[in-house]
Amino acid sequence: GAVVSQHPSWVICKSGTSVKIECRSLDFQATTMFWYRQFPKQSLMLMATSNEGSKATYEQGVEKDKFLINHASLTLSTLTVTSAHPEDSSFYICSASLVGQLAKNIQYFGAGTRLSVL
C-alpha cells in the first residue's frame, strides 16, 4: 500500500523558534499533500492543501506567514511553524493523494508530529 512518512514524530522547542516538519510519500508520487492539525480529543482540521510546484492553498483562519508550506517535489512537502508559541502546540498530520488517484479522493496519512512549544 501507499506509505507516507512524516518526521519528526515528536519535537519540543522553545518559544520563538521555528520548526520544520517533513512529509514524504515513499513509494508513490503525490501531486497533492494536505496538512491537518489536531488538538487533543478533537477532530482533524485541514490547514492547507499543497500542490507540487505551486503555492499552497490555506484554509480560512490559518496564517500562511505563520505556517509556511513548501511542496518542491512530487514526494516531499514541508510545513514550517515559524516563531512558534505555546498555542501552536498540537498534533500535526500530513496526508497525500496518489497521482491519478486525485479524483478518487483517497488520502494516505503520515504518522503525525507532536509539537510542544515551551
Partner 1 sequence: GENVEQHPSTLSVQEGDSAVIKCTYSDSASNYFPWYKQELGKRPQLIIDIRSNVGEKKDQRIAVTLNKTAKHFSLHITETQPEDSAVYFCAASDNNNDMRFGAGTRLTVKP
Considering the complex, state which of residue 54 and residue 105 has its C-beta at the smaller distance from partner 1. 105
d(CA 95, CA 112): 9
Residue 6 identity (one-letter amino acid): Q
Residue among 14, 43, 53, 54 that touches partner 1 (CB under 8 A): 43
Residues paired with residue 73 on neighbouring β-strands, in sequence order: 76
Given the rule CB under 8 A, which of 44-52, 61-69, 70-78, 81-89 is the region that contacts partner 1?
44-52
d(CA 81, CA 42): 20
Site for partner 1 in 58-77 (CB under 8 A): none
Cell digits of residue 111: 504518522
| Closest CB 48 distance from partner 1, rounded Å | 12
CB-based contact 107:2 (threshold 8 Å) = no
Cell digits of residue 108: 494516505
Helices and strands per DSSP (H, E), number in the chain: 0, 11
Count of residues that interact with partner 1, criterion CB under 8 A:
24
**Residue 44 binds partner 1, judged by CB under 8 A:** yes
Residue among 15, 17, 18, 42 that touches partner 1 (CB under 8 A): 42
Site string for partner 1, 88-117 (x = CB under 8 A): ---x-x---x----xxxxxxxxxxx-x---
CB-based contact 2:104 (threshold 8 Å) = no
Question: Which residues bind to partner 1, rule: CB under 8 A?
Answer: 32, 34, 41-46, 49, 91, 93, 97, 102-112, 114
